[in-house]
Amino acid sequence: LKLQFLYFIALLIFHKKMKTTFVFLLFVAAGSAVGLGGTTPATSCNAECFEVAQDVKEYVKEKLGDHLVEYHPELVREQVVAGKNYFIKINIGEGHYIHIRVYRSLLRHLDGLANAHVRPTTTLTGLKLGMTKDDELVYFEGFGDQ
């Protein structure tokens, strides 16, 4: 209910053509109402997860030396920050998995409101190699082996 109220206030502010900064701050406040900073439990990838994974696929290929047999996102955890971090478990074929960390800017969520002209940024910010189907998807930082 708090989240819906904050979105309603953000829309009112936008409607009255107040500064974008207020809309941004309200979205950050909305994020804190749903646990800003903590990660969600791991769930099956949804359409948003698949889109994010596809956005960074070429960067993942570069990091892995272009040796992907498959690229199937399976699980995701999300973390609301000043944007959103996605921790995604990806099946890369032949029983091998990787975990990727992707950051998508908050501007993605403001598209269609105050910043319709701004393209969101999606950045590969971490990669864990040598993972298996049974390895738990957890918060991590950076690039490298487990």
Give the residue-averaged pLDDT of 64-69: 81
Closest CA to 85 of 47, 130, 138: 138
Q: Give the per-residue pLDDT at 138.
A: 95
Range with the lowest mean pLDDT among 11-20, 37-46, 122-131? 11-20
Write down the mean pLDDT value for the chain: 78
Q: Give the per-residue pLDDT at 67.
A: 74
Give the residue-averaged pLDDT of 36-60: 93
Q: Give the per-residue pLDDT at 82.
A: 85
Range with the lowest mean pLDDT among 40-44, 76-80, 119-123? 119-123
Give the residue-averaged pLDDT of 65-84: 91
Q: Give the per-residue pLDDT at 32.
A: 44
CA 120 vs. chain centroid, Å, equals: 11
DSSP classification of residue 66: S
